[in-house]
Structure 1
């Protein structure tokens, strides 16, 4: 069964789009993680439990491609930069382990697509798991964990929670949260 991904155009200067798929019951998480870490796969695997809304990923990805374009990345790859941008931590290892997939059997797979490059189909064929509708993301989100990671435990509304998370992602380099 085929489901449409979440697709979002990023900053026009980068000529890049973000494409995100949601998987559950993934059997080859170790292989996926290894392929991403050694650079064989050009994608990011994110824990869906920490994502309140896909806009979070879009903002982090946009920051990553802009940093890559201006040669100002903190991490070694644009995909690691996405994970780094999702986190409030300025520690790269903490950011990657917090948001990256380690043993989770559910994951969001993110690709950066340009006119010259779209490796998503080749990689998707190798993921041994159940592809879900992207709209099913809410079932995986752990609101308490999201609030804890972003230090927003007193926020009541999910709408203002998303706004605060996005603000923290965008201002990470300027403010110590």
Structure 2
């Protein structure tokens, strides 16, 4: 049985659905990255080690499609905007290199699907790796890297980490961390 992607409706006015696929043991990471950078593939490839929960990506994707609709994107594509929105930094190249794939063999692939335009299957079929259930995402999270990326060094036990991360993501334009 092939794992199903995670799907989530984004802002209603954008008529966009987020689809996420999780892969491990990917052998063609370099080709995937090149296809995305060259604009051949319309998707975002994210390091799952920096993702605590799929909600984190859904928030970043929702902000990206709203920015695209209102023509306020900071980056060139909504997929780069997802990576930018995941990061705390306002530096685009740092955001893309920190959250985008470069090496490693695990990845989280995100698609923004609009009515009548869904090329997910064509791209997913070209990924040479093992597709996993999105519910396994927590197994790929590297807590030390995550805490470093979101500057979460002095936390108490009773803090909801996901709430804190999402709050920091959406307030990066107003607060310096």
The normalised TM-score by structure 2 is: 0.97
Which residue in 1 is equivalent to 2:2? 2
Matched residue pairs, number? 177
Which residue in 2 is equivalent to 1:165? 165
Which residue in 2 is equivalent to 1:40? 40
Shift of 1:158: 8.0
Q: Give me the whole-angstrom Cα distance separating, in 2, the residues matched to 1:34 and 1:125.
A: 16
Which residue in 1 is equivalent to 2:66? 66
- Give the ranges of 4+ consecutive aligned residues of structure 1 lying more than 6 Å apart after TM superposition: none
Which residue in 2 is equivalent to 1:89? 89
Q: Give me the whole-angstrom Cα distance separating, in 2, the residues matched to 1:6 and 1:158.
A: 28
Which residue in 1 is equivalent to 2:116? 116
Q: Give me the whole-angstrom Cα distance separating, in 1, the residues matched to 2:113 and 2:13.
A: 14
C-alpha contact 1:144 1:153 (8 A) present in aligned 2: no
Query: Equivalent residues in 2 for 1:104-143 (5 A)?
Result: 104-143=104-143
**Residue 12 in structure 1 maps to residue 15 in structure 2:** no
Q: Give me the whole-angstrom Cα distance separating, in 1, the residues matched to 2:99 and 2:114.
A: 24
Shift of 1:116: 2.1
Shift of 1:157: 4.3
Secondary structure of 2:160 counterpart: helix
Shift of 1:159: 6.0
Gaps of 5+ in 1: none
Shift of 1:76: 0.5
Q: Give me the whole-angstrom Cα distance separating, in 1, the residues matched to 2:40 and 2:165.
A: 31
Q: Give me the whole-angstrom Cα distance separating, in 2, the residues matched to 1:100 and 1:76.
A: 15
C-alpha contact 1:27 1:105 (8 A) present in aligned 2: yes
Q: Give me the whole-angstrom Cα distance separating, in 1, the residues matched to 2:25 and 2:175.
A: 38
Root mean square deviation of aligned Cα: 1.1
Shift of 1:153: 1.5
Gaps of 5+ in 2: none
